[in-house]
Chains A and B, each alone.
Chain A
Amino acid sequence: MDKNALIEVAEQLVEKIDDLPTIPVVATQVLQLLDQPDVSVEDVADLMLTDQVMTARVMKMLNSPVYKPSHEITSLKRALVYLGLRHIREVALTTSVISAFESDSGAFDISAFWEHSFGVGMVSKTIAAKVGYPDLEKAYISGIIHDLGVVFLSNFMREEFLAVLDSIKGRPIKLADAEIERFGTSHCEIGLSMARKWNFPDAYCEVIAYHHSPGEATIDPVLCAIVNLANLFCSVRGLDYGGREWVSFNLFDEPAWQILKKEYPRLAELDVERFCYELDDAIPDVQELVSSIFNSKE
């Protein structure tokens, strides 16, 4: 189906929702500040510190075993230095997304959703490191936000989305295909519409739109391929929203594998089996991170 037609339907769906969550005031101010020339890390840190929840979440995200910084990062300023100015925007947006969708009123357990998302973030970062992709933070954040559209469907089209999930339960049918059949669009395009509304940078919008079809990406196909593979691996190794989708794939036939191998031939040496087993071992870390992020308000 034509991608533009899918995007059009998605935009209409997103427009229809009156109470679409907005970005917290501080996040908006951070984004504005980042647009100014000569902005300093101190300025951004001072502003972010006025939002304790955001500060705590940034610290938790960066200090978890999932992210593995070489030293514990103890102050927000150090965290921002570590991230680099270019990534503060994304972290501010990501923590905003978490704040916007932390209620448990959706079609499924929200912590299962974030476990999948942070799992894909972690695995994206691992794959990025293995292939030598230059921006690990970008891979991490892309993984965390790739399924933005799913929370929209879960929260604002709850009953219909439940019916979709029910219709594919235990069957080898792709969620995105079932969504298109039901809604005329999928979580990829809905996520894209939301990300555009929230002014996410283009490369991130692209990951959200093409994480199931990295071959169609134009800005950063390698990043889309990394997130695509990470998503596939998480979906078969227990970070799968409690089995909402029965995923199966032949790794070497995946377009993402081809894209990455062309760019980084050393990927061919990856011990795929061990990679899967190590992913199993990392699941408790992901679960701990998610539970700590959601308890960071207290």
Chain B
Amino acid sequence: MSISDKDFEQLRDFIYNLCGMYFHSTKKYFLESRLARRMEATGSKTHMEYYQLLKSIRGNEELKFLMDEITTNETYFFRNIPQLNALETKLLPEIVETKNKMGFRKLRIWSAASSSGEEAYTMAMILLEKRNTLLKDWIIEIVGTDINETVIAQAKEGVYNAYSVRNIPDLYKRKYIREDNGLFGLFVLAPEVKKFVTFNKLNLYDDNKMIFMKTFDIIFCANVLIYFDTASKSKVVQHFYNNLQPYGYFFVGQSESLHGVNDKFKTVHFPGGFTYKK
């Protein structure tokens, strides 16, 4: 069933208000096909009927199923190009300048919810490229954390399929990955990239551990907070805020919003996106 503009807007607003994820109009057909599956599973005949179900007492449970359908759990290298451009063009040079003035030549980056490691390793490649220029003689620490031990093991292994590596620019591809000789279609990360990154298990709900994740310059947490209710989201985001250096930046996913979650962060806008500044 094709979704009317009115139903689409209603569902979009509902999802946005609940999860902080905005469905662009260009995603209408995607949403439509994913909704179709859930409507069938729940026996809803119209979008309106399904919307009523979401708003009902049973809605919370159904919402989890819907979120599973509409968030693709995929991740890949160089995923958010506008973010990476902003970091390279402006944010990173600014952080480096600030820390240089303090004589503190160490950069700390955290990929919270690092999954199989693509985001953390993307940063490692970008920073590695600046080892002879901007980051000469700097110490670089990149930390990836996830709640899931299986993906942490994958991240530590550093072997990826063609889909994961498809967006890596040629310059980086040539230098930092090579096709595995034994296993066709798999790509192995260069040891020099891996050595900058450590992966650990961490539950973002675990207050006792969260308070020890200190002094980061940049934190990424993409497409995870959308699963949390507002109260938990506020708490976790407050941890991120506390864990950042005074000049640090916090990045969320491409269509995410922290509006109403934390009023201390300030939005900094750049072509194709925005970030939160402490």
Residues in A lying within 8 Å of B, measured CB to CB: 170-172, 232-233, 235-238, 240, 243, 246-253, 271-274, 276-277, 280-281, 284
Which residue of chain B is the closest to A253 with respect to CB atoms?
B266
Interface CB pairs A-B, < 8 A, 11? A171-B89, A233-B269, A247-B270, A250-B267, A251-B266, A273-B267, A274-B16, A274-B259, A277-B22, A280-B24, A281-B25
Which residue of chain B is the closest to A233 with respect to CB atoms?
B269
Cα distance, A271 to B272, chains bound together (Å): 17
Nearest-Cβ distance from residue B81 to partner chain A, whole angstroms:
12
A-chain residues with CB within 8 Å of residue B266 when the two chains form the complex: 250-253
Neighbour of B89 across the interface among A170, A236, A249, A274, CB < 8 A: A170
Q: Is B268 part of the binding interface, using a Cβ–Cβ cutoff of 8 Å?
A: yes
A-chain residues with CB within 8 Å of residue B221 when the two chains form the complex: none
B-chain residues with CB within 8 Å of residue A253 when the two chains form the complex: 266
Question: Number of residues in B with C-beta < 8 Å to the partner?
Answer: 24
Which residue of chain B is the closest to A237 with respect to CB atoms?
B272
Cα distance, A194 to B266, chains bound together (Å): 38
A-chain residues with CB within 8 Å of residue B277 when the two chains form the complex: 250
Q: Is B86 part of the binding interface, using a Cβ–Cβ cutoff of 8 Å?
A: yes
Neighbour of A172 across the interface among B90, B256, B259, B269, CB < 8 A: B90
Contacts A248-B268, A250-B268 known; list 14 others, CB within 8 Å: A236-B270, A237-B272, A240-B271, A243-B271, A248-B269, A251-B266, A251-B267, A251-B269, A273-B22, A273-B258, A273-B267, A274-B259, A281-B24, A281-B26
Which residue of chain A is the closest to B274 with respect to CB atoms?
A276
Flag if A248 contacts B270 (CB, 8 Å). Answer: yes
Q: Is B154 part of the binding interface, using a Cβ–Cβ cutoff of 8 Å?
A: no
Nearest-Cβ distance from residue B20 to partner chain A, whole angstroms:
8
Nearest-Cβ distance from residue A283 to partner chain B, whole angstroms:
10
A-chain residues with CB within 8 Å of residue B258 when the two chains form the complex: 273
Cα distance, A273 to B90, chains bound together (Å): 21
Q: Is B255 part of the binding interface, using a Cβ–Cβ cutoff of 8 Å?
A: yes
User: Which B residues from 224 to 278 make CB contacts under 8 A with A?
Assistant: 255-260, 266-274, 277
Flag if B257 contacts A277 (CB, 8 Å). Answer: yes
Cα distance, A249 to B268, chains bound together (Å): 6
A-chain residues with CB within 8 Å of residue B256 when the two chains form the complex: 273
Tell me whether A273 and B271 are in contact in the complex, defined as CB-CB below 8 angstroms, given that A172-B90, A248-B86, A280-B24 are known contacts: no
Which residue of chain A is the closest to B21 with respect to CB atoms?
A277
Flag if B89 contacts A276 (CB, 8 Å). Answer: no
Flag if A277 contacts B259 (CB, 8 Å). Answer: no
Nearest-Cβ distance from residue B91 to partner chain A, whole angstroms:
8
Tell me whether A273 and B274 are in contact in the complex, defined as CB-CB below 8 angstroms, given that A172-B89, A249-B269 are known contacts: yes
Nearest-Cβ distance from residue A284 to partner chain B, whole angstroms:
8
Flag if B255 contacts A277 (CB, 8 Å). Answer: yes
Instruction: Name the residue in B24, B26, B267 with the highest tally of chain A Cβ atoms < 10 Å from its Cβ.
Output: B267
Neighbour of B269 across the interface among A171, A276, A277, A281, CB < 8 A: A276
B-chain residues with CB within 8 Å of residue A281 when the two chains form the complex: 24-26
